[in-house]
Amino acid sequence: AAYPSAWEVADGQQMRAAEEDDVDEEEQQALMDELNADLDSLDPELEGYLIRDEGELAQKSRVWDEMNKEYLEEQAAKHAARVRMAEARGIDLATAESVLQSEKRRPRKRKNDGGRGGGASSAAEAVEEELRRNRALSS
């Protein structure tokens, strides 16, 4: 019988973790150790792509951070805004994230037509109404 690879076990573990949200730390560490052992036995051709030197890793991280500076600043600003929103509403950050996600999913309501009645009864009437509205905006 063929045993699953560490990668297959990790995929299964992630799926279970997403379902259960309660993963034993020792089991997770054992799995990570097995994955690291698998990395050590990779094809020699792939060896050139792995970063094992801490200095090289630090240098590449600095380069990546510099190249993506704007993105990182935007993400930091978004995070700070979420923290402020959570504090203002008196909720924790995880709840604030859930609130923001639900607000994103809500369909937007159409603008009120200013009390001029319902929608047009035909396509031609709708076009005429839009033309009148656009003339009023442009003058």
pLDDT of residue 32: 84
57 near 64, Cβ under 8 Å? no
pLDDT of residue 99: 78
Q: Which two tokens stand for residue 115?
A: 């009390």
pLDDT of residue 2: 60
pLDDT of residue 50: 76
**Each residue's pLDDT expressed in tens, for the chain with a length of 139 residues:** 466 666 676 777 666 665 555 557 888 888 888 887 776 676 776 777 777 788 988 999 999 999 999 999 999 998 998 888 888 888 888 888 887 787 777 666 666 555 555 678 899 999 988 888 888 776 6
81 near 71, Cβ under 8 Å? no
pLDDT of residue 76: 94
Q: Measure CA of the first residue to CA of the last residue in the chain; give whole Å.
A: 80
pTM, two decimal places: 0.39
pLDDT of residue 30: 85
Q: Which two tokens stand for residue 15?
A: 């799926």
Alpha helix segments (H runs only) across 1-139: 6-20, 25-40, 44-47, 54-67, 69-89, 93-105, 123-138
State the CB neighbour count (10 A cutoff) for residue 113. 11
95 near 86, Cβ under 8 Å? yes
Q: Give the Å distances, CA to CA, from 116 to 2, 58, 109, 113, 119.
A: 72, 64, 17, 6, 9
pLDDT of residue 121: 87
